[in-house]
């Protein structure tokens, strides 16, 4: 799917002196039925997660705490998103290669997914991903991440 099959979604929130509440609802911020929820936490700062695409899975990803960078690639274009607030979700449609990196200490990434875990839905090889999205297969793998600012 083209990169336009992803979008940042502002989440509903309620704030008062007792703190902040953030909610996601199916049919409101989440454009699919949620079949699975998982967390990424205790991720070392230097870790690189993701490095795959999904054939059919839809997801919404957000930083429940901390921050990280999520890079999406549709085989032609790529874009990096910094997720740094629980009030913003990133909807990711199928057919997008993703990498997650630069996790700040204490980050908790929350992922809502449209299906149960199924290894058969993963595309873990970049050339297979290029074939899946119908672009020429290159030998140099996914585009390199931009250099980190000093
Ligand atoms: P993976 O999706 O490759 O991690 P990430 O994309 O965050 O780097 O998952 C790592 C391992 O955990 C892999 O063996 C698949 C397994 N797994 C499950 O069993 N259930 C799940 O819901 C998820 C997301 C992964």
Q: Ligand 1 atom closest to Cα of 36? A: 22
pLDDT tens per residue, the chain (150 residues)?
Answer: 788 878 999 999 999 999 999 999 999 999 999 999 999 999 999 999 999 999 999 999 999 999 999 999 999 999 999 999 999 999 999 999 999 999 999 999 999 999 999 999 999 999 999 999 999 999 788 877 665 555
First to last CA, the chain: 34
CA 107 – CA 99 distance, rounded (Å): 16
Q: Ligand 1 atom closest to Cα of 116? A: 22
Q: Which fold has domain 3-116+123-133?
A: Jelly Rolls (2.60.120)
3 state DSSP class of 121: helix
DSSP 25-85: -BTTTB-S---EEEEEES--TT--EEEEEESS--EEEEEEES-EEEEEE-SS-EEEEEE--
Q: State the Cα angle at 3 between 47 and 77, rounded to 5°.
A: 75
- Which pLDDT does position 148 carry in this prediction? 56
Which residues, in sequence order, are CB contacts of 109 under 8 Å at separation 6+?
39, 40, 41, 43, 61, 62, 63, 64, 68, 83, 100, 103
Show which residues are catalytic: 52
Alpha carbon of 27 to ligand 1 centroid (Å) = 26
For a ligand 1 pocket test, name from 34, 35, 36, 38 the mutation site with the most ligand atoms within 8 angstroms of its C-beta: 38
Q: Ligand 1 atom closest to Cα of 122? A: 2
Alpha carbon of 88 to ligand 1 centroid (Å) = 23
Q: Let me know if 27 is exposed, middle or buried by CB neighbors in 10 A (0-12, 13-18, 19+).
A: exposed
Residue 16 pairs in a beta bridge with: 19
- Which pLDDT does position 62 carry in this prediction? 98
Report the nearest-CA residue for atom 14 of ligand 1.
119
Domain ranges of the chain: 3-116+123-133
- Which pLDDT does position 2 carry in this prediction? 81
pTM of the predicted structure, to 2 decimals: 0.94
- Which pLDDT does position 147 carry in this prediction? 58
């Amino acid at each position: 799917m083209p990169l336009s099959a992803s979008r940042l979604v502002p989440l509903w929130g309620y704030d008062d002196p007792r703190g902040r509440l953030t909610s996601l609802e199916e049919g409101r911020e989440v454009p699919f039925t949620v079949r699975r929820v998982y967390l990424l936490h205790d991720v070392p700062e230097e870790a690189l997660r993701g490095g795959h695409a999904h054939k059919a899975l839809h997801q919404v990803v957000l930083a429940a705490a901390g921050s990280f960078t999520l890079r999406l690639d549709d085989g032609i274009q790529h874009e990096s998103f910094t997720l740094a607030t629980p009030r913003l979700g990133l909807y990711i449609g199928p057919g997008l290669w993703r990498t997650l990196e630069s996790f700040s200490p204490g980050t908790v990434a929350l992922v809502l997914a449209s299906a149960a875990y199924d290894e058969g839905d993963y595309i873990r090889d970049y050339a297979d991903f290029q074939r899946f999205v119908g672009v020429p297969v290159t030998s140099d793998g996914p585009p390199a991440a931009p250099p980190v600012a000093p």
